[in-house]
Structure 1
Amino acid sequence: MTSLALHGVGIGWRRELALFIDRLPSPGFVEVLAEHLPPSGDVPEPLSRLRERGVPVVLHAVSLGLGSAEPPDPRRLDWLARQAERVGAICISEHLAFVRAGGLESGHLLPLPRSEDALDVLAENVLRAQAALPVPLALENVASLFEWPDAAFSEAELLAGVLARTGASLLLDVANLHAHVLNHGTDADAVLACVPRERLAYVHVAGGVQRGGLYHDTHAHPLHAGPLELLERLAERLGPVPVMLERDDRFPAKAELASELSAVSTALDRGASRWRAGARP
């Protein structure tokens, strides 16, 4: 799969941010949560206006459960395909996680066991989803507060493995990677190094908070230096990459949002400048 037509700095479209986003002179792209869209009828008018302006739209989902032992529910895949068509999405992104088992919903994006069996199931589920969806699929690494015991391989090897076995691209969440570094000692450089530019769809950055000795990826707190540093290091390796800011709660004043978008642009430009100069890791 080749890189998608995403560029620049985007932002997650939320109703609470619709006016702020509408007034941005040139958002690179927007990401819409599939589960937050109205079940039928027209899409929200501010989102339609962005499409009319030519702003690319990505549909982001949280409920497929690609890491579950059961295959993705065909009804969920059909619903997701229809939502993508409604908003004119150029791709769909979902998480490398499971969210249900035995008919019970977890309410969380739970991490996958890093085993060969789990990777086999994940790859098969991704291939099923790709066959059912009308646009390309991008897979996102998740943040976690725990890890399964007896891991057979690293986080970087999990990402590389699913990319090798499927035609999907990667949505690299550097805030989630930052959480893994702090919570589990994950090797961030190994993860950054495993991402081929042609398989990178886009990047997430978001805020979080340290609580009880663990870093929580909340999307409701100010943006930390850690994810920005990882974004800069990624751009130093790969050059300019499409990146977007997520904010899902405790929506700040427009000046704070604008400042965070500026910080994202600055980190991206710093890394890309070193890439252009040939100072690659």
Structure 2
Amino acid sequence: MAVNPLAGLGLGIGWRPEIAGLVTDLPGVRFTEVVAESLRHQGQLPLPLAELRARGVTVVPHGTRLSLGGAEPLDPHRVRQFVAAAATLDAPLVSEHVAFVRAGGLEAGHLLPVPRSREALRVLARNVRTLRAELDAPLALEPIAALFEWPDDEFTEAEFLTELLDRTGAWLLLDIANVYANARNRGADPVDLLDRLPLKRVAYLHVAGGAEHDGLYHDTHTAPTPEPVLALLRQLSARFTAARLAPAMLLERDGDYPPAAQLRAELDAVADAAGLARITPPDAPPDGQVSNTTLAGSR
């Protein structure tokens, strides 16, 4: 199997305009991720993101709207935009979700779970191969956090993902927060899924926080990473260490941004749980001394 292009890059944080300055100011950051659809078609990067690229920071475009799990053919316009984002960033890897976002001409506005059936697997694999044929970079696929499952599944989640990776040659983007959310909502053991997944196919990992509503845990990306997710990350890290694997890891945050010092503290907590080097400044100022420029990156 090919060498993981993100191996050894350590901890990163998702690039968002609201925290662009914070990401730029992290001295140890070696990779980040940007929502592919947020990039302009002309190929011009936002200044803070271009600054990171100039420093040699790896930037992975992360797709959210290709609808790889949809029964309809891929939208050529969206494929071209995704491919252009990868080319603009000279990305060594790109990623998208094992999900669909539209059907019958209607946009869901949300990532929806794919039925774990043989027909759904066939269609998903077809769409992944179509996308890969347009890309110059490898593709990683991320299973989503789902609040429901389709009836009469023909595969377990681990079986479905393993078969998908085998059929397409894609890498796995493993979101440890999604693993926790799905297990908690299904009353299952998250460690059981980890032990059944092909961990050697993991290109990189996501971690994030969520919230409970009406008895279900929602992967919101708007809260600190909870201790149960960090505990699961410790167990996963031990498995990677035993297998001599070193996938990169990325903290996601998509709203309710706290003061910069709190985000740096969360990055430190994730780094410690994953057994990775911290990427934050050693003498970061307290919350009260963090300027708006640090968070917003308005330079």
TM-score when normalising by structure 2 = 0.86
**Aligned counterpart, 1:232:** 234
Deviation at residue 153 of structure 1 after TM alignment: 1.7
Please give the secondary structure, in 2, of the residue aligned with 1:265: helix
Give the match's secondary structure for 1:62.
coil
Residue in structure 2 matched with residue 57 of structure 1 by the alignment: 59
Q: Percent identity?
A: 50
Question: 1:15 — aligned with what?
Answer: 17
- Does residue 241 of the first structure (1) align with residue 247 of the second (2)? yes
Output the aligned Cα RMSD: 1.5
CA shift in 2, pair 1:54/1:195, >3 Å: farther
The whole-number CA distance in structure 2 between the counterparts of 1:38 and 1:264 is 31
5 Å matches for 1:109-128?
Answer: 109-128=111-130
Retained in 1: the 8 A contact 2:15–2:33?
yes
- Within 5 Å, which residues of 2 pair with 1:1-281? 1-6=2-7, 7-40=9-42, 42-239=44-241, 240-269=246-275
Alpha-carbon offset, residue 196 of structure 1: 3.5
**Is the 1:34–1:80 contact (alpha carbons within 8 Å) kept by the matching residues of 2?**
yes
Q: Which amino acid aligns with 2:179?
A: L
**What is the aligned partner in structure 1 of residue 280 from structure 2?**
none
Q: Which amino acid in 2 is paired with 1:250?
A: D
Q: How many residues are aligned here?
A: 270
Per mean C-alpha deviation after superposition, the further-off stretch among 193-202 and 61-70 is 193-202
The SS at the match of 2:40 is coil
- Larger CA deviation: 38-47 vs 237-246: 38-47
Runs of 4+ in structure 1 off by over 3 angstroms are 194-198
**Cα distance change of structure 1 residues 28 and 197 upon mapping to structure 2, 3 Å threshold:** farther
Structure 1: gaps spanning 5 or more residues: 271-281
Change (3 A) 1:205 1:104: same
Q: CA deviation at 1:86?
A: 1.5
* Rounded Cα–Cα distance in structure 1 between residues aligned with 2:3 and 2:127: 21
Cα distance in 2 for partners of 1:140, 1:186 equals 20
1:179-204 superposed Cα distances (whole Å, 9 cap, x missing partner): 10111134422321234444211000
The answer to whether the Cα contact below 8 Å between 2:162 and 2:198 also exists between their aligned partners in 1 is no
**TM-score between the two structures when normalised by the length of structure 1:** 0.92
Structure 2: how far apart are the matches of 1:202 and 1:186?
24
One-letter code aligned to 1:74: P
Q: Does the 8 A contact of 2:11 with 2:271 survive in 1? A: yes
Checking the alignment, whether the CA contact within 8 Å between 1:138 and 1:171 is kept in structure 2 is yes
Whether contact under 8 Å (1:241, 1:268) holds in the other structure is no
* 2:13 counterpart letter in structure 1: I
